[in-house]
Amino acid sequence: MSTDLELALYVFMLATFLGLEVIRKVSPLLHTPLMSLTNAISAISVVGAIAITGAADATALSRALGFIAVTASVTNIVSGFLITDRMLKMFKRRGPDK
Amino acid sequence: MTVDHVINYIYIVSAALFILSLKWMNSPATARRGVLAGELGMLMAIVGTLLRHEVVNYQWILAAFFVGSAIGIPIAYLMPMTAVPQRTALSHACGALAAALVGTAEYYRETPHGFVMVALVVETLLGFLTFTGSLMAVGKLQEILPTRPIVYRNQNFINLSLFAIAVALGVRLILVPTQSGIFPVFAGLSMLFGVLLILPIGGADMPTVIALLNSYAGLSACAMGFALNNKLLIIAGALDGSSGFILSVIMCRAMNRSFTNVLFGAFGQLQPSQVQAEARSVRSASPEDAASILEAARSVIIVPGYGLAVAQAQHKVRELFDALTRRGIDVKFAIHPVAGRMPGHMNVLLAEADIPYDRLFEMEEINSEFAQCDVALVIGANDVTNPAARDDKSSPIYGMPILEVDKARTVMVIKRSMSPGFAGIDNELYYMDKTLMLFGDAKSFVSEIVKALPAPAARAR
């Protein structure tokens, strides 16, 4: 049990430092798409929500809560990725001079 | 057993894709590839989870997929770019709600204890407070709620005591997880605290707060990873948490304020002492005057602020940009980090109007160029151009980094009236001798300037 926790803390620590380094390199130009992208990624809670909703021993309460949670996460995943791409498509370099 | 191993490998690849996804966001050239990597990572995570042997009942999951997509797709395609901050805040609310509800369901199903319970308490506390806090932010951004800070006596004391009680109940739940009667009170207090936390926050601080809520939403997903012992959740949550954290630090620095000051300072109330009694004179000019000054310039720097987006003037500004560029005038845009309602918002608004992104410059890049530029045209920006932030130690915004517009040879400011900006203070810039005030709606004023510009052929040499 405690080794699981230690391992999880190591993963957390490394991921946080990695996140700080990677994000620091993102150009301020793209901070808004970055935020909607991380939004979509943090909807990874869908993993927990699916496990709750689909469990064999789910009670009515946990199934209902899980259903709302999956819906909310999927909304984030779908709208997050799509709107990020929509924004990024708009960023163009100066084309041939008109 | 073997299926479980396969799932774990799927999760590892998925985590790697998320990291690559963020890494590719560092430049517009690779950013769309980043989105693709993120989508793939998410797809693998979902498929992997559906394969898990404890997931046996699919009908509700599929129903939720349909409902979620039915809500998400229209949001993604119909949301105007000016409303992106609201959408972002709304999705923080959704994400946090999901984490909080999963935590709640886990609690009632398992009544865990020890370390898992600690993680669950953190997950639900952050989840519920981010949920209501983000909804408040949506309300303020959508202007359903007043954007000025709402303050009352002993606000910080009341808020912090409430938070302390919520934390104390959480600790109690960790020590005695079977006292399930406490849980609803704990959840309710967390939600109430989320509301109270955002009440005193004004429009100018929204970029910081959105970034902070982003971080909280990520951390609650991360706490879920600890509760479920799932490394993928920990990694994705930590990436999101650190991203929100960095962005809010950048925003704070751009306003020369600390976190505590943003959260507890109730910035942007009208300060009576600052309202000057004497009416000072300014020089104003017509669109025709403005056009002939721009025509004669060699280099122009446009400073857009949120007022430009409110007036929907992006496309007119693009016409002006084209008209000037065609005359061989060098036109650049100077973007302050807090221009707009969320980090990077102004860049998206200008990109939407087809202004090439290599003409958009960050504050540090462009500040040294104002001294050599002929005309600085300020559209809908105020506090971020106020020289008082640099020169006047008694000013409430003293120390905030500004765009040094006042160093340009001529300054033109398009503004509706002389009313102060978010910080509620007067702007010295407007009274300078080289400043021309262009009073009017940004959109119609810019289009009149474009009309007043003489035909480019007249200038052929």
Distance from CA of A68 to the nearest CA of B (A): 7
Active site residue B383: yes
Position B336 confidence tier, pLDDT thresholds 50, 70, 90: very high
Subunit contact B98:A72, Cβ cutoff 8 A:
yes
Contact A25, B342 (CB under 8 A): no
**Beta partners for B299?**
B330
CATH class of the B280-459 domain in this structure: alpha beta
**Would an 8 Å CB–CB cutoff place A10 in contact with chain B?**
no
The answer, yes or no, to whether residue B268 has pLDDT greater than 50, is no
Q: Which residues lie below 8 Å from residue B71, measured CB to CB, with a gap of 6+?
A: A71, A75, A78, A79
Return the percentage of chain B with pLDDT > 70, whole number: 94
The minimal CB distance from B235 to the residues A11, A35, A72 is found for A11
**Would an 8 Å CB–CB cutoff place B99 in contact with chain A?**
yes
Subunit contact A77:B228, Cβ cutoff 8 A:
no
Q: What is the largest CA-CA distance in chain A?
A: 66
- The string of pLDDT tens digits covering residues B178-209 is 988 999 999 999 999 999 999 888 877 888 89
Subunit contact B348:A87, Cβ cutoff 8 A:
yes
Q: Which of A2, A16, A35, A82 to mutate to test the interface with B (most CBs of B within 10 A)?
A: A35
Subunit contact B109:A47, Cβ cutoff 8 A:
no
pLDDT at B422: 65
**Would an 8 Å CB–CB cutoff place B218 in contact with chain A?**
yes
Domain count, chain A: 1
pTM score, whole prediction: 0.90
Cα separation, B420 vs B432, in Å, equals: 16
Subunit contact A29:B357, Cβ cutoff 8 A:
yes
Nearest to B266 by CA among B156, B368, B124, B133: B156
Chain B residues near residue A62 by CB distance under 8 angstroms: 105-106, 108-109
Residues B84-120, buried b or exposed e (16+ Cβ, 10 A)? Answer: bbbbbbbbbbbbbbbbbbbbbbbbebeebeebbbbbb
Locate B267 and state its tokens: 């910035």
Residue A4 placed within a domain: no
Question: How many CB pairs below 8 A link A and B?
Answer: 377
Position A95 confidence tier, pLDDT thresholds 50, 70, 90: low
Report the length, in residues, of chain B. 461
Contact B234, A8 (CB under 8 A): yes
Subunit contact A56:B326, Cβ cutoff 8 A:
no
Subunit contact A35:B221, Cβ cutoff 8 A:
no
Q: Which residues lie below 8 Å from residue B409, measured CB to CB, with a gap of 6+?
A: B373, B374, B375, B434
- B:101-120 residues touching chain A, CB 8 A cutoff: 101-102, 104-106, 108-109, 114-115
Burial class (CB in 10 A: 0-12, 13-18, 19+), B286: middle
**Would an 8 Å CB–CB cutoff place B69 in contact with chain A?**
yes
The minimal CB distance from A37 to the residues B25, B92, B245 is found for B25
Cα separation, A91 vs B257, in Å, equals: 31
Residue A3 placed within a domain: no
pLDDT at B275: 46
Which amino acid makes up residue B196? L
Please give the residue that has the higher pLDDT: either B410 or B153: B410
Locate B218 and state its tokens: 């990520």
The answer, yes or no, to whether residue B426 has pLDDT greater than 60, is yes
Chain A residues near residue B322 by CB distance under 8 angstroms: 98
Cα separation, B127 vs A69, in Å, equals: 12
Return the percentage of chain B with pLDDT > 90, whole number: 60
What's the average model confidence in pLDDT over B358-373? 92
Flag the least confident range among B382-391, B414-423, B435-444: B414-423
Per DSSP, the residues of B285-321 read --HHHHHHHHHH-SEEEEEE-HHHHHTT-HHHHHHHH
**Would an 8 Å CB–CB cutoff place B431 in contact with chain A?**
no
Question: For chain B, what is the mean pLDDT?
Answer: 89
Q: Which of A44, A84, A87, A90 to mutate to test the interface with B (most CBs of B within 10 A)?
A: A44
Position B294 confidence tier, pLDDT thresholds 50, 70, 90: very high
The minimal CB distance from A42 to the residues B72, B106, B221 is found for B221
- A:19-58 residues touching chain B, CB 8 A cutoff: 19-20, 22-58
Residue A35 placed within a domain: yes
Contact B194, B373 (CB under 8 A): no
Distance from CA of B276 to the nearest CA of A (A): 37
**Would an 8 Å CB–CB cutoff place A86 in contact with chain B?**
yes
Chain A residues near residue B84 by CB distance under 8 angstroms: 32, 36, 83, 87
Subunit contact A32:B342, Cβ cutoff 8 A:
yes
Which candidate in B205, B240, B383, B426 is catalytic?
B383
The answer, yes or no, to whether residue B279 has pLDDT greater than 90, is no
**Would an 8 Å CB–CB cutoff place A60 in contact with chain B?**
no
Which amino acid makes up residue B84? V
- The string of pLDDT tens digits covering residues A37-54 is 999 999 999 999 999 999
Domain boundaries, chain B: 1-78, 80-268, 280-459
**Would an 8 Å CB–CB cutoff place B72 in contact with chain A?**
yes
Please give the residue that has the higher pLDDT: either B241 or B145: B241
Contact B207, B251 (CB under 8 A): yes
